[in-house]
Amino acid sequence: MTATTGTLADEVWRLMTAQGILFAVDAPIRQTLQNLVEFFVARWQRDPESVRAELEAALAADDRFTREEVNGQVIFVTSRQGRYVPRDTTDTHTFKQRLYEPEKPLPIDDLSVVVSTSRPAITTVEPVYISDYWIEQARLIAAAKAAEQAPVTEEPAPVAAASERAPVIAEQPVVEAVPPVDAEPAQVAPVIAETAEVIAEPVVAAEPVEAAPAPAQVAPAERSTILVVDGMAIDLSRSPAEIVAKYGPALERILAERLEQDPLRRIVSFGRMHYPEASLISFGKNDLRKIRDYILERNEPLLDTEIIADLYYHNPRQSDYEGFRFSLNYRLSREKDFEFVGVEGANVWSTKGLPAIGSKRVKAAEMGQLTAYLIEGFDDSLADQSVESIVTSGSVTRLLTFFEWEFGVLPLDAALAALLPKPVFPDQRSAVLRFESPQHFSTYLVEVRYPTGNRGGWLQGLEDFFREHLVPGALITISRSEAVNVFTITYEEASETTGRLLTLDEKKNKFAFANMTFYCAVDEDLLPEQNRYGKLRNLKAFPMGERRKAEMILEHVCETMGERGGSREQPVYRVAFADIFMAYNVLRPASRSFLLALLANNPAIAPDPAAEGVYLFTPPQVETEAEVAEEEEDLPIQPALRRRSGRYIEEDE
Amino acid sequence: MIVFGDTAIDRLLQWLRASGEPKDVRELLVQYLEILSKLVMEESE
């Protein structure tokens, strides 16, 4: 390199590094020869050819430049640190490989050697990664053991003979023909089974083969595609759609259970939806507090979509929307401060501190006991409408009883259960639905309490609607809408009617009749009008805890509503079933079949042989004063006698 | 040896991750059966 060329190369290098001043020190800086020639021709005012030749010679002689030709164009490459050297991207770290794929692996019997099943001191579930290498190792060892145990002693023989003697393990090819899909699993040899010990059934050999020390030669043959899962023989050669059509629900359940049991928890679920655990979006404590505050601010349970839109401004058109939604639901489902009160297709969340939906006059435990008759098999709500007709029509029509009207509750009988959505989770306690009244343009939040154990279910939250627009005996219709969590409630309108109807005076805790005007069609048998059911005012408004005693309430109803006959010492009350049903449903909900069963089982009540649908109630005899005194002779001193032979006891005071 | 709900779950996970959104258990099952079916075919070849 001469002094001149060296100077020229230096100048070019300064030009190019100035051009790439912001590049990384080892990043390539490229420039075409043509550009360089044009630059120096303009500066020196010389012939381009001589400049080109001078430049080529100067740069070729300088180590800092590399010459490239791309599409016939000459390019010189350099870098800020001098000669451009392409970066070596080879990863020289071998720790990962050495860790997961050691040259001399430790012997393992099964995967439990690799993964500890013991509970860690901290109960946090930590995902454990098992390399495919170890899984493969475990599989190979299991296969080798099975092969060792196999008594393979026969000589090389025809295929049929070989397969006759040598039991074939699951992974090995089998000579058996593929059995038909619908064949019973007991009749075919399930080759791909859930246990390694599954052995192909021997095939009848053409001739006996002498045992010899030569190794077994298992002839390659077609592999079976039958997979046995919980007793179901599934032919994997069939299309998944066909398999799902036949075993869908069972396989879904098994797959969901096994994914749930996966120690790595790689796939997590919320309801029917599944998502990779690694893809979940994280929600911190601040997020949870923000969501809880927002639900409390809105003062009602909220849909997940509302929470996402209002708090996170996430749009359903965004590509990660469904993942975000799943993550939110999954996170909330694991928090004890939040309760899922949604249904399939509408994820509604409630939180601690929200006001209760419905009347507080009936506690949940009491209501569960009052509707227990539905669980006990006395549900006759499907007598007028079949489940099919309800599902097809999407609506249920029913009459309102006094108890339902007074407290705004409806027993969750089979008819309503057929209409309303089922709980999403097995342990789901309740769901919150929205009931709209198109006749009054009003909306009500209704809580569906699902049956648990021996307690029945019910709907609550319709108190205002019933009291404002209806009277007992009204015919109401509940219908589905397009939204899964929204229903409509309607009634048949009628001209203005005024009557003296039964009401509960809460201050005095007594039943009374009052003038009421209503505009709905009613069933006269269930309308508690004074003219027809005047005796209803004599019913005692028992505390709710007492009303669960079905027999006691029945006897009280018979005594109150019946016509008194018999003698003074032994009265007999004659009462019609319609009156019993009416009065009983004033005090607590009951179906006709439940009442008939109660009447049949009560020794003090018998059907009147003279009239159908009429019952005779003979109250148990009250002990006379003489009898009581006789019994008490030997007893210690008792408190003073009350009038009517009763004693004052602590409970009376 | 194929164990339903255990074998090739990593492939199912790969598919689920690639889909980018939560899937219903029915879709998951159909995909899993396809994976198992392919697995059996591959092993038999």
At a CB cut-off of 8 Å and minimum separation 6, what does A480 contact? A394, A395, A419, A487
Give the torsion through C-alpha atoms of A333, A334, A337, A339, to 10 deg: 20
Residue A197 reports pLDDT greater than 50: no
State the pairing for strand pair A486-491/A430-437: parallel
> Which residues, numbered 83 to 142 in chain A, qualify as contacts with chain B under a Cβ-Cβ cut-off of 8 Å?
132, 139, 142
Residue A195: closest C-alpha in chain B: B1
Fold of A3-78: Arc Repressor Mutant, subunit A (1.10.10)
State pLDDT tens for residues A468-490. 999 999 999 999 999 999 999 99
Domain A274-351: give its CATH architecture.
Orthogonal Bundle (1.10)
| B11 Cα to chain A: minimum distance (Å) | 11
3-state secondary structure of A70: strand
State pLDDT tens for residues A599-650. 999 889 999 888 888 999 988 876 555 555 555 555 555 544 444 434 444 4
How far is residue A165 from each of residues A196, A201, A372, measured CA to CA in Å? 18, 10, 63
Domain ranges of chain A: 3-78, 150-261, 274-351, 364-492
Residue A421 reports pLDDT greater than 60: yes
What is the reported pLDDT for A182?
A: 43
How far is residue A76 from each of residues A59, A84, A206, measured CA to CA in Å? 8, 10, 80
| Residue bearing the bigger pLDDT, A263 or A628 | A263
Is B32 touching A (CB cutoff 8 A)? yes
Fold of A364-492: At1g16640 B3 domain (2.40.330)
Is B28 touching A (CB cutoff 8 A)? yes
Is A259 touching B (CB cutoff 8 A)? yes
Is B19 touching A (CB cutoff 8 A)? no
Is B18 touching A (CB cutoff 8 A)? no
Residue B3: closest C-alpha in chain A: A194
Is A244 touching B (CB cutoff 8 A)? yes
Q: Write the residue in B5, B16, B40 that is nearest to A192 by C-beta.
A: B40
A92: tokens are: 């020289």
What is the reported pLDDT for A298?
A: 93
State pLDDT tens for residues A562-613. 888 888 888 899 999 999 999 999 999 999 999 999 999 988 999 988 888 8
**Contact A331/A340 with Cβ under 8 angstroms?**
no
Q: Write the residue in A274, A279, A320 that is nearest to B28 by C-beta.
A: A274
Residue B40: closest C-alpha in chain A: A225
Residue A329: closest C-alpha in chain B: B22
| Residue contact A278–B17, C-beta within 8 A | yes
**Contact A537/A544 with Cβ under 8 angstroms?**
no
Partnered with residue A616 across adjacent β-strands are A574, A606
Which residues does chain A have within 8 Å of residue B25's beta carbon, measured at their own beta carbons? 252, 255-256, 269, 272-274
Tell me how far apart the alpha carbons of residues A66 and A337 are, in angstroms, rounded to a whole number: 67
What integer is the mean pLDDT of A517-543? 90
Do the domains at A3-78 and A274-351 have one common CATH topology?
A: yes
